[in-house]
């Protein structure tokens, strides 16, 4: 059975250094509130685990690289916003306004058609020609209504594609390759072409 070695039984090594280094070591140990030997052991462990070179006291290169990549990423997002999202939003808003005008027009047209049909019924007294005209007008109005419904469906599909694009783009991280971003744009364009 093994017994644990105490601190006095451990083999101690000696490192010689100048007075200035000794003073620095004392200040570090006082500041951290630990014995100098423990601070030294922790420094050795730190450099061993992090694989850093003690001569490299400047982590500015890593910090600057991360800041530059962050700025590039923000720039990319702003470019996408101004090149794609804002124009798409304007077009969708314009399309919604046009759809409202079309619906209002057909609502008014339907009222006018009803008035016209009543007047024609009184004048023509229920003849077959009148009946054909009315059924033709009804079919035309029904066809127009169906087209409006189709446009509403297309608008919903477009909004779904837009929402999907936005969610995918927001899921991209800072390190997402440009190839994946380009694939998202191409895939979104293909979905819009299929409408």
Q: Going residue by residue through the chain (195 aa), what tens digit of pLDDT does each one get?
A: 445 556 555 677 888 889 999 999 999 999 999 999 999 999 899 888 877 777 776 666 667 777 888 888 888 888 888 887 888 888 888 888 988 888 888 777 777 777 777 777 676 665 666 567 777 778 887 888 888 777 788 878 887 878 787 877 777 777 778 787 788 788 888 887 777
Q: How many CB atoms lie within 10 A of CB 30?
A: 11
At residue 2, φ and ψ (nearest 5 deg) are: -85, 145
Model-level pTM?
0.29
Do 36 and 99 have their domain in common?
no
Which sign does the torsion angle of CA 99, 104, 107, 111 carry?
A: negative
Does some domain include residue 172? Answer: yes
Could you give the 3-state DSSP secondary structure of residue 12?
coil
Does some domain include residue 55? Answer: no
Do 95 and 174 have their domain in common?
yes
Do 35 and 101 have their domain in common?
no
CA nearest to 131, candidates 142, 141, 120, 143? 120
Does some domain include residue 61? Answer: no
Total domains in the fold of the chain? 2
């Amino acid at each position: 059975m093994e017994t644990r070695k105490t601190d006095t039984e451990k083999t101690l090594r000696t490192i010689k250094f100048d007075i200035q280094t000794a003073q620095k070591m004392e200040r570090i140990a006082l500041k951290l509130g630990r014995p100098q030997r423990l601070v030294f052991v922790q420094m050795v462990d730190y450099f061993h685990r992090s694989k850093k070179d003690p001569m490299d006291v400047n982590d500015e290169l890593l910090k600057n690289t991360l800041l530059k990549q962050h700025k590039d990423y923000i720039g990319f997002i702003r470019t996408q916003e101004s090149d794609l999202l804002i124009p798409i939003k304007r077009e969708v808003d314009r399309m919604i306004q046009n759809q409202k005008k079309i619906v209002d027009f057909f609502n008014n047209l339907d009222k006018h058609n009803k008035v016209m049909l009543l007047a024609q019924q009184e004048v023509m007294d229920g003849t077959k020609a009148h009946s054909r005209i009315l059924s033709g007008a009804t079919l035309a109005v029904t066809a127009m209504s169906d087209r409006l419904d189709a446009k509403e469906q297309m608008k919903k599909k477009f909004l779904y594609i837009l929402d999907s694009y936005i969610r995918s783009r927001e899921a991209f991280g800072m390190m997402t390759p440009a190839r994946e971003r380009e694939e998202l744009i191409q895939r979104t364009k293909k979905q819009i072409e299929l409408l």
